[in-house]
Amino acid sequence: MAEPNNKELPEVIVLGIPWFLKFYGQQFSQNFKLLKPWESSLPLEQFITTHAQSVKAMLCSGGTRVNPSFLSQFPSLRVIVTTSAGLNHMDLSECRRLGISVANAGTIFSEDVADCAVGLLIDVLRKITAADGFVRNGLWPMNVVYPLSSKVGGRKVGLVGLGSIGLKVAKRLEAFGCIISYQSRKKKPVPYPFYPDVHQLATKCDVLVICCALTDQTRHLINKEVLLALGKEGIIINIARGPIINEMELVQCLMQGEIAGAGLDVFENEPNVPEELLSLDNVVLSPHVAYLTEESFQDLYELMSGNLEAFFFNKPLLSPVLDD
Amino acid sequence: MAEPNNKELPEVIVLGIPWFLKFYGQQFSQNFKLLKPWESSLPLEQFITTHAQSVKAMLCSGGTRVNPSFLSQFPSLRVIVTTSAGLNHMDLSECRRLGISVANAGTIFSEDVADCAVGLLIDVLRKITAADGFVRNGLWPMNVVYPLSSKVGGRKVGLVGLGSIGLKVAKRLEAFGCIISYQSRKKKPVPYPFYPDVHQLATKCDVLVICCALTDQTRHLINKEVLLALGKEGIIINIARGPIINEMELVQCLMQGEIAGAGLDVFENEPNVPEELLSLDNVVLSPHVAYLTEESFQDLYELMSGNLEAFFFNKPLLSPVLDD
C-alpha cells in the first residue's frame, strides 16, 4: 500500500465526514484514494451517483444512515467501516443480505467513555463545573455561601448495560467506594447485583449511568417512571446515545426537582440541546465527546486504516461486526 | 450534656466562623454555650477580652492564626478544636508548652478531597468544564471543531505527599490505569516508585497532584524549576494548600504554555484568585471546597462535638494532635 501514485490506490468513499480525518486525513490519503463529497463541486447526490457503481469500500461515521435505500445505490459495495462503536445508524441485516462486511470502532473508545462517565458523575456530585463558574464570576470574595456538594463514596450506582464501557465504569467507581449494580438483557458473571428491569434498578439506586447500545428495545428506556423511581436525590449520567432517555421527560424532571442532577454527553436531537438545560446549574453538558481524545483518535486511525487494508488484501477485518 | 439550661452548658469560644455551624449550629448549641463574636455587638478584640480569662475551650477553623501572642490572651484555655485537617495556622509547640490540647479534623475529609483531586484531573484532561461552556454558549450547532482532550489512562501521576489523601488518590487513579509514583519525606511501604526530591518526581511525571501538608519545608516547594521539569504536557492539581505552589510562577508557566493545565482548589491569597487565571480555559478553579460535602459536614459536626464532650468529661480526645 506504499505506492505514491494516487490513481493506483484503492478507492474508499467517505461519508459523514469522520472527525478523525481532520487529524489523520493526510496519513490516510497515503494508502487510499479517498472520495470525499465535501471537497467536490458536485452536490452530494450527484457525487454519490458518479462513484456508486464502482466503489467497493466505504468509510462512514455514526451520523450516516445506512438503510436499504441508501445501500441500493452502491451495487459494488463490499465493506463498510464505521468510526462509531454504536451501530444504531446501520441496518445490519440488510448489510448481511447484500454480502457487505461491516467493521466498527470495537471497544477502542471504552476507556475514554468510561473515564468521561466517571468525570461527569464526580462533576455533578461535587459541583466542579459550578464551582469553576462561582470562582470565575468573582463570587468567592463576596462571602456568598457555596452550596454543599455530595460525597461520591457510598453512592449506589446502577449501570444500565454492562458491556465493555459498563465494566470499566464499575471498576473505576468501586475505587471510590460506590456500590455497583446493573441492568442488562441477561445476568453476567460479575459480583454485582443484577436487575433484569431498569425500573427496579432505579428504585435501588442513587445514580443511573446509561452505557447500553441504542436499539429498538432501549429507545426511551429511561422515561418519567424510571426517573421518579430514581428519586429526588437521583442523578443520571448518559454517555451512550441520547434517545435511550426520553429527553422531554428528563428535562421536566430536572426542572421540577424530581431528580437532583444529570451529566449528559449525548442528546436526542444532537447538536441541539434543549434550551431549558442551558440555564440549570445541576447539569453538566458535553457535546458528544466522551470518546474524543488524542489517544483514541490515533487508535481509531490505526483501526480504520487496518480494517480497510485487511479488506483490500483479502484478510480478516480487525474489528468485524459482520464478516460474511 | 443534655441540660437545656444554657447557663449550665460548658462554654466554647468560637473563632473563625466555622462553616459547618451554618448547618449544625443549632445542634451544637444544645450541648455547648457557644461564644460567638460575630453575633455580639462588641468589636472582636473587646469580645475576646470579655471572655478570654475564663474560657477553657475554643473551636476554630483553618483561618484562625493561633500564634503565641494570640494564645497569651487566653490564660485558662485547655483545648483547641480546629475544623481543619491542616495545622499550618497553629503554633503547635506553643500549645504544647502551655498545656493546651489540640484536636483537628483528622482524616475525615480525605475521601472527599481525594475524590475532588481526581475529579479536577479528569476535568482538566477531558476538558469537561470547557465542554459545558462550549454547549451552553451555543457553539455545538455552529460546527466549531471541539479540541481533542487527553486520555486519563497511562498518564504518569506523581503524588507530592503520600498521607491519607495521597493514598486515596493513588487507589482511585490506579483504577483508571494511571501510573503512580510519589515524593515524600521518607519512603513508605507501598508499591509505588519513591522519589525523595520533587524536581526528580516532576521529570518522571505528566501530572503532579499536591497532597502534602503546608509547612516551612513545603512552602513554595512547587516553583518554576519544578514546573519546567514537569513540562509542556504537564498538569498540576492542588487540593492541599495554596502556598505550597509559587502561584506567580505557576500563573506565568500556564500563560506561557510551559505546562498544559491546572486544577486548583486552593490559592495563595484566598479568597483572591489571580486575575490571569480567570480567562484561561486550560484551568479548572474551585473555591477551597474539596472537603465540603453534606456527608463530611455531618462527620465534622460529630467529631468536633465529640472532641469537646470528651474534653469536658475528662476523656481522651477523639482526634488529638497534642494531648498533654
Quickly state the pLDDT bin for B6 (edges 50, 70, 90). Answer: low
For residue range B78-116, what is the model confidence (pLDDT) as tens digits? 999 999 998 999 999 999 999 999 999 999 999 999 999
Cβ pairs A/B, distance under 8 A:
165
Cα torsion B38, B41, B46, B51 to 10°: value is -70
Residue A230, helix vs strand vs coil: helix
Cα–Cα nearest to B1, from B31, B25, B28, B37: B31
* DSSP 8-state code for residue B235: E
Length of chain A measured in residues: 324
Contact A273 B131 (CB under 8 A): no
ipTM of the complex: 0.92
Contact A115 B122 (CB under 8 A): yes
For residue range B185-222, what is the model confidence (pLDDT) as tens digits? 999 999 999 999 999 999 999 999 999 999 999 999 99
Cα torsion A222, A226, A231, A237 to 10°: value is -20
Residue positions of A annotated with a catalytic role: 241, 270, 288
Nearest CA in chain B to A295: B151
Taking a C-beta distance cutoff of 8 angstroms, is the pair A281, A257 a contact? no
- Closest CB to B115: pick one of A131, A152, A284: A152
Look up cell 428519586; give the residue.
A231
Higher pLDDT, B148 or B273: B273
For residue range A99-126, what is the model confidence (pLDDT) as tens digits? 999 999 999 999 999 999 999 999 999 9
pLDDT value at residue B7: 60
Q: What is the DSSP string of A172-183?
A: HHHHTT-EEEEE
Cα torsion A14, A20, A23, A28 to 10°: value is -40
**What average pLDDT does chain B have?**
94
For residue range B9-24, what is the model confidence (pLDDT) as tens digits? 999 999 987 777 888 8
Whole-angstrom distance, CA of residue A75 vs CA of residue A72:
6
Reply yes or no on whether B270 is catalytic: yes
Contact A150 B295 (CB under 8 A): yes
pLDDT value at residue A58: 97
Nearest CA in chain B to A143: B271
Contact A136 B292 (CB under 8 A): no
Domains and CATH numbers, chain B: 6-108+294-322 (3.40.50.720), 110-285 (3.40.50.720)
Nearest CA in chain B to A114: B176
For residue range A1-60, what is the model confidence (pLDDT) as tens digits? 444 455 689 999 999 877 778 888 899 999 999 999 999 999 999 999 999 999 999 999
Nearest CA in chain A to B296: A151
Whole-angstrom distance, CA of residue A207 vs CA of residue A176:
14
Angle, in degrees to the nearest 10, between helices A294-312 and A21-31: 30
- Closest CB to B120: pick one of A128, A145, A149: A128
Q: What does the pLDDT average to over B278-304?
A: 95
With beta carbons under 8 A apart, name residues in chain A contacting B274: none
Calculate how close chain B gets to A136, using CA atoms only, in Å: 5
pLDDT value at residue A187: 97
> Which of A197-201, A205-209, B61-65 comes out lowest in average pLDDT?
B61-65
Quickly state the pLDDT bin for A158 (edges 50, 70, 90). Answer: very high
Whole-angstrom distance, CA of residue A162 vs CA of residue B237:
32
Q: What does the pLDDT average to over B258-281?
A: 97
Peptide bond into B141 cis (omega under 30): no
Q: How far is CA A155 from CA A179, B123, B166, B295, in A?
A: 6, 20, 22, 11
Mutation pick from B23, B135, B169, B276 vs chain A, by most beta carbons of A within 10 Å, is B135
Percentage of chain A beyond pLDDT 90 is 89
CA angle B79, B80, B86 (to 5 degrees): 145
For residue range A81-90, what is the model confidence (pLDDT) as tens digits? 999 998 999 9
Residue B131 in grid coordinates: 465542554
Contact B294 A172 (CB under 8 A): no
Residue A36 in grid coordinates: 470525499
- Closest CB to A286: pick one of B120, B131, B172: B131
Calculate how close chain B gets to A285, using CA atoms only, in Å: 5
> Which of A5-9, A287-291, B185-189, B309-313 comes out lowest in average pLDDT?
A5-9
Calculate how close chain A gets to B273, using CA atoms only, in Å: 8
Mutation pick from A108, A115, A282 vs chain B, by most beta carbons of B within 10 Å, is A115
pLDDT value at residue A49: 93
Look up cell 509505588; give the residue.
B192
Whole-angstrom distance, CA of residue B218 vs CA of residue B221:
5
- Closest CB to A289: pick one of B115, B131, B278: B131
With beta carbons under 8 A apart, name residues in chain B contacting A136: 278, 285
Nearest CA in chain B to A296: B151
Which candidate in B51, B96, B126, B288 is catalytic?
Answer: B288
Longest dimension (CA), chain A: 69
Judged against a pLDDT cut of 70, whether residue B146 lies above it is answered with yes
Residues in CB range of A230: below 8 A, 6 or more apart: A202, A203, A205, A206, A208, A236, A259
For residue range A217-228, what is the model confidence (pLDDT) as tens digits? 999 999 999 999
With beta carbons under 8 A apart, name residues in chain B contacting A140: 270-271, 273, 287
Judged against a pLDDT cut of 50, whether residue B1 lies above it is answered with no
